[in-house]
Amino acid sequence: MKTYKVKVYPENIEVIAKEGENLLELIRKSNIPINSVCGGEGVCGKCKVIVKSGKIDTESTTHLGRSEIQKGYVLACLVNISSDLEIEIPLESRLEEGQILLGNEKLYSKVSDFVRTESLEKKSIFKLFPLTIKLFLNLPYPSIKDNKSDLERIYREIRRYYDFPIMQTGLSVIKQIGNLLREADWKVTVTLGMRNKTTEVIQLEKGDTSCNNFGVCVDIGTTTVVAELVNLNNGEILGVKGSYNKQISYGSDVISRIVYATEKKGLDDLRNAIAENINALINSLAIESNIKLNDITSIVCAGNTTMTHLLLGIDPGYIRKEPYIPTVSFVPVIRAAEVGIKINPRGLLATLPSVASYVGGDIVGGVLASGIAESEDLSILIDMGTNGEIVLGNKDWLCSSACSAGPAFEGSGIKCGMRARNGAIEATSIDKNFEVKYSVIGNTKPHGICGSGLIDLLGELLKSKVIDRRGRINDNLSTDRIRDNRGCKEFVVVWGKDTDTGDDIVITEDDITNLIRAKAAIFAGTLIMLKKLDIPIDEVKHYYIAGAFGSHLDIEKAIFFGLLPDLPRNRFKFIGNSSLTGARQYLLSEEARDKCESIAKKMTSFELSVEPGYMEEYISALFLPHTDLELFPSVK
Amino acid sequence: MSVELLKEKWVGKINEVTIGATKDEGGSRVKTITIGGENTLPFMHFEGEMSRTPKIAMEIWDMKPPDWPVSLISPFEDVISSPAKWAKKCVETYKAEILFLRLQSAHPDFGNASGETVANTVKSVLEEVGVPLIIYGCGNPEKDNEILPKCTHIAKGENCLFGKATQDNYKTLTASCLADGHSIIAEAPIDVNIQKQVNILITEMGFPINKIVMDPTTGCLGYGLEYTYSVMERIRLAALGGDKILAQPFICLVGQEVWKVKEVKASSNEFPKWGDENKRGPAWEIVTCASLLLAGADLLVVRHPETMEIVKKNVEMLMKK
């Protein structure tokens, strides 16, 4: 078969393509980061590349403007290679790589016996008992009288500290024991892994290495992935990093990824993508804290059901098909290496249990972290991820549901949206002359707007009447911040002279529509759930908002925008990335693990998509704050 | 033993909207009409008040309609080239109490007439007849935003009913109706929530809620009439149940929906079994009107004189207590 050379700038990499090979697939295969929301269907228009030289055969598309076509822009997914090419991947088509994702600082308090992040009445404390522990053993020498085998001797010594009923050791470790014990003069450190109710001797090291025991917890979101490095000896958080989920190149939502995994046989691609994501985050965390990968002995991942299936390489196809049944909800603890995660080769991987196809381990982690399952009071937890999850309940019962909110709050699909990291605008205010004041995470020049900043901004835009209740920009105002950009109205938040790239930071009417859709999905879901359970909204005593979209959320503006119901303000609490907090608690405490399991078993779920009133509620929530203004007395 | 009828007790009442202004009121109309005001479901006289009789408006155009069938053109053959004469015939011969003037000639595909031209047409109709006027744009949002402010201005003081405001295009018309003292038609496609949203958007601009007339029309008999029917019913039930934002009268553009369907337009030569098109068209329009009256229509816009006559009788019968 004929082959062609494709040169990719600015990487300056040359790759060989087969005749007729799809350009987007070639770029992905070559590990060059490129954006694609639809997964190569030609419908999202995100995979724009510029052809510098070479002949191109491509379909026409509405995603490219006239000036772009003149400059040689094409959609990579619509190009089948039929000559040598030189292409450039422009900035807007790139996926940004791992950068620090800041979170709620309160979540990262450095305490030895770690405290629940947000507890209801009193601070509840889980006892530190990590998934893997290191224990230094000074074993008594064997003698004719004390003639137990080496392994039994180790077990006996361990039982002096811990009451483990069942212990086991793999053959490869057993094979090392004889020599290692004697070379170390019977002074060794064992790493013990909690594999459900069995304790495994994972490895044996000479001397006392018990101070070097670390773990990683990861929140695998559909859009963002965040990892924390934790000292397992005291629960201290050593670092946190985040990035966009690399699977985005294969589709922006769970459904398009399931389709990619099943119909396009891309399960391996997706599993590799997330494993690489996690490995990159772990690597940079380890380098920063100056620790060895070998000393990371366990990892806990919390993600929605599809993300968990994809991480484990399990076919997620049945999640999408009626009656929406996942392959597994409670995954046993396995070795991390089995899915390609690079920590200690015998290190363990645990995933938080899920409830249903669309209610995953991330929300179970959120329930654990928020503590709503221990309170007498009725509480609501809303996780504003790409798949918005809602949990309602108290210590006796929990009911959950999921609604597809889309990635808008995570800054994806928004022109100047970004993740919550340095350079993100997180709060704004607009005065009567439409001048904007803003605050930026890290106090740097702004680069874009993160989720909490977007919610904040929309509240301000509505208050200052820049937008109407349908989210349309009012172009009759006397300010040059409102302008028309090729048929789409936009509001300039920060002028180019004050931004880090020199480009204006804007919010467009399309962005606003996306955000309104996202909030409507969540609000409608909440109302339907309360209606279904016949609970007046006023009876909800605590309202927890979770999400990896910012470090603070202005509750007043979120109510004004119609994202949250009009309840007394002291009932609301923004708890940041609760999925990550839940994963950390799972990593650090046996009690938390038991609790987590009971939460997952106790929680019921129902499908909003088949709920007849949902669409109706959704339409009435596509308004600011809501079509039914009676629901928002304090906003009127 | 006598049986006592169980009566529904409603808390809400539909606002009254008056169209037209007499000399004393600053206009030049001989008579005005008022719609709305009911505090019960349509024609349920034993339960509440329905003090205002539903009204029927006749539709005229500012140009010869290119796609009307012969059966609809023929009653107006002699006047169709002059909107003023057409208006006069409707009032004098067919006894129309209110007219609906569609400014179709402004549409870029139908002649692209200027704002001044159509405003002059409005003026000529107002001068020719003394009945209140409903003035309706050409349907192209950009063009309507250009011509309708000129029309509201030229008709200032006459308290006309102008259409249409939609969720995507309401600002210009609302502002000019507010400035020139007219009422407004708020259109929403078969959706209670969107209807409510349009009403809120209009009132947010300072427009009085009691000058809005809602248009839920989306299809005639055989083309999804039942959807329109049930949405109207739901809006009305909400209004009577106390939702003040939905407590406005309905206008239904029946003619516009009826006279575009094949069953009405086709001649009896094409489909002999369908019968005489001169009877078929009005019949289709009449049945659609009768259904919508029962759903709560306060103002029907029809095209054929025969429809006008028979629906009027129908309303009279229904209004008998």
Q: What is the pLDDT of residue A319?
A: 92
CATH number of the domain within which A185 lies: 3.10.20.880
CATH number of the domain within which A64 lies: 3.10.20.30
Q: Nearest to residue B52, comparing CAs of B40, B36, B39, B41?
A: B36
**Count of Cβ atoms closer than 10 Å to residue A82 Cβ:** 16
DSSP structure class, residue A380: E
Tokens representing residue A73 in the block: 């822009």
Residue whose tokens read 């928002």: A632
Sort out which chain B residues have CB atoms less than 8 A from A469's CB and list them.
Answer: 197, 200-201, 204
**In chain A, what percentage of residues exceed pLDDT 70?**
94
Q: What is the pLDDT of residues B171-184, one digit of tens each?
A: 999 999 999 999 99
Q: Is residue A84 part of a domain?
A: yes
Task: Give how far A488 is from chain B: nearest CA, Å.
Answer: 14
Domain count, chain A: 2
Coil, helix or strand at residue B122? helix
Q: Which residues contact A386 (CB under 8 A, 6 or more apart)?
A: A221, A222, A223, A252, A253, A254, A404, A405, A406, A407, A410, A412
Query: Between B271 and A48, where is the model more confident?
Result: B271
Q: What CA–CA distance (Å, rounded) separates B210 from B199?
A: 10
Report whether pLDDT(B120) > 60.
Answer: yes
Least confident of A33-47, A143-157, A191-205, A596-610: A33-47
- Judged by CB atoms closer than 8 Å, whether chains meet at A627 and B201 is answered as no
Sort out which chain A residues have CB atoms less than 8 A from B197's CB and list them.
Answer: 469-470, 622-623, 627
Summarize the confidence of residues B45-58 as an average pLDDT: 95
Q: What is the pLDDT of residues A157-194, one digit of tens each?
A: 999 999 999 999 999 999 999 999 999 999 999 999 99
Sort out which chain A residues have CB atoms less than 8 A from B194's CB and list them.
Answer: 619
Coil, helix or strand at residue A389? strand
Q: Which helix (H) or strand (E) holds A153?
A: helix A150-161
Q: Domain residue spans in chain B?
A: 18-319
Sort out which chain A residues have CB atoms less than 8 A from B171's CB and list them.
Answer: 474, 476
Last residue of a domain, one of A40, A64, A93: A93
The answer to whether the CB of A462 falls within 8 A of the CB of A558 is no
**Count of Cβ atoms closer than 10 Å to residue A119 Cβ:** 15
- Chain A residue with CA closest to B193: the answer is A620
- Judged by CB atoms closer than 8 Å, whether chains meet at A469 and B200 is answered as yes
Amino acid (1-letter code) at residue A269: D
How large is the angle between the packed helices A171-183 and A150-161, nearest 10 degrees? 90
Tokens representing residue B298 in the block: 């306060």
Query: Between A111 and B253, where is the model more confident?
Result: B253
Q: Is residue A513 part of a domain?
A: no
Q: Which residues of B180-212 are buried (b: 16+ CB within 10 A; e: fewer)?
A: bbbbbbbbbebbbbbbbbbbbbbbeeebeebbb
The answer to whether the CB of A421 falls within 8 A of the CB of A559 is no
Q: Is residue A88 part of a domain?
A: yes
The answer to whether the CB of B183 falls within 8 A of the CB of B212 is yes
Residue whose tokens read 């086991």: A168
**Count of Cβ atoms closer than 10 Å to residue A497 Cβ:** 7
- Judged by CB atoms closer than 8 Å, whether chains meet at B171 and A476 is answered as yes
| Residue of A468, A473, A489, A513 to mutate, testing the B interface (most B Cβ within 10 Å of its Cβ) | A468
Q: What is the pLDDT of residue A94?
A: 67
Beta strands in A319-397 (DSSP E): 334-335, 348-351, 379-383, 387-393
Q: What CA–CA distance (Å, rounded) separates A359 from A225?
A: 18
As a dihedral over the C-alpha atoms of residue B185, residue B186, residue B191, residue B192, rounded to 10 degrees, the angle is: -100
Predicted-assembly ipTM surpassing the 0.95 threshold = no
Q: Which of A469, A622, A629 sits opposite B201 (nearest CB)?
A: A469
Residue whose tokens read 């008594």: A140
**Count of Cβ atoms closer than 10 Å to residue A70 Cβ:** 9
Q: Is residue A65 part of a domain?
A: yes
Q: Please provide the distance, in angstroms rounded to a whole number, between the alpha carbons at the two ends of chain B.
A: 24
Least confident of A328-342, A510-524, A538-552: A538-552
The answer to whether the CB of A584 falls within 8 A of the CB of A299 is no
**Count of Cβ atoms closer than 10 Å to residue A501 Cβ:** 14
Q: What is the pLDDT of residues A207-233, one digit of tens each?
A: 999 999 999 999 999 988 999 999 999
- Residue A109 pLDDT class (50, 70, 90 cuts): very low
Q: What CA–CA distance (Å, rounded) separates A29 from A24?
A: 9
- Judged by CB atoms closer than 8 Å, whether chains meet at B201 and A470 is answered as yes
Coil, helix or strand at residue B61? strand
Whether A73 and A15 share a structural domain: yes
Summarize the confidence of residues A523-538 as an average pLDDT: 93
Beta partners for A505? A494
Beta partners for B110? none
Q: What is the pLDDT of residue A126?
A: 82
- Residue B207 pLDDT class (50, 70, 90 cuts): very high
Q: Which residues contact B217 (CB under 8 A, 6 or more apart)?
A: B228, B251, B252, B253, B254, B256, B257, B292
Report whether pLDDT(A95) > 70.
Answer: no
Summarize the confidence of residues B234-243 as an average pLDDT: 95
Q: What is the mean pLDDT of chain A?
A: 88
Beta partners for B215? B187
The answer to whether the CB of A426 falls within 8 A of the CB of A420 is yes
Q: What is the pLDDT of residues A384-437, one digit of tens each?
A: 888 889 999 999 999 999 888 888 888 888 889 888 888 899 899 999 999 999
Tokens representing residue B100 in the block: 């609906």
Whether A136 and A184 share a structural domain: yes
Q: Please provide the distance, in angstroms rounded to a whole number, between the alpha carbons at the two ends of chain A.
A: 69
Sort out which chain B residues have CB atoms less than 8 A from A470's CB and list them.
Answer: 167, 197, 201
Q: Nearest to residue A87, comparing CAs of A95, A75, A99?
A: A75
Q: Nearest to residue B238, comparing CAs of B214, B211, B205?
A: B214
Q: Is the bond leading into B164 cis (omega within 30 degrees of zero)?
A: yes
Whether A83 and A139 share a structural domain: no
Q: What is the pLDDT of residues B123-152, one digit of tens each?
A: 999 999 999 999 999 999 999 999 999 999
Whether A67 and A145 share a structural domain: no
Beta partners for A576? A546
Q: Is residue A450 part of a domain?
A: no
Q: What CA–CA distance (Å, rounded) separates A208 from B124?
A: 102
Residue whose tokens read 């529904």: B8
Report phi then psi at A539, rounded to 5: -80, -5
Q: Which domain holds residue A161?
A: 132-206
Q: Which of B192, B194, B204 sits opposite A468 (nearest CB)?
A: B204
Tokens representing residue B151 in the block: 């029309």
Last residue of a domain, one of A206, A236, A261: A206
Most distant CA pair in chain B, distance:
71
Sort out which chain A residues have CB atoms less than 8 A from B201's CB and list them.
Answer: 468-470
Q: Is residue A68 part of a domain?
A: yes
The answer to whether the CB of A310 falls within 8 A of the CB of A271 is yes
Sort out which chain A residues have CB atoms less than 8 A from B192's CB and list them.
Answer: 616
- Tell me chain B's radius of gyration from C-alpha atoms: 19
- Judged by CB atoms closer than 8 Å, whether chains meet at A627 and B167 is answered as no
- Judged by CB atoms closer than 8 Å, whether chains meet at B167 and A470 is answered as yes
Q: Is residue A328 part of a domain?
A: no
Beta partners for A26? none
- Residue A100 pLDDT class (50, 70, 90 cuts): very low
Q: What is the pLDDT of residue B6?
A: 85
Architecture of domain B18-319: Alpha-Beta Barrel (3.20)
- Residue A11 pLDDT class (50, 70, 90 cuts): confident
On the 0-12 / 13-18 / 19+ scale of CB atoms within 10 A, B276 is exposed
Report whether pLDDT(B317) > 70.
Answer: yes
- Chain B residue with CA closest to A625: the answer is B197
Q: Which of A468, A476, A620 sits opposite B193 (nearest CB)?
A: A620
Return residues 609-628 of A near B (CB < 8 Å).
616, 619-620, 622-623, 627-628
Q: Which of B171, B194, B200 sits opposite A619 (nearest CB)?
A: B194
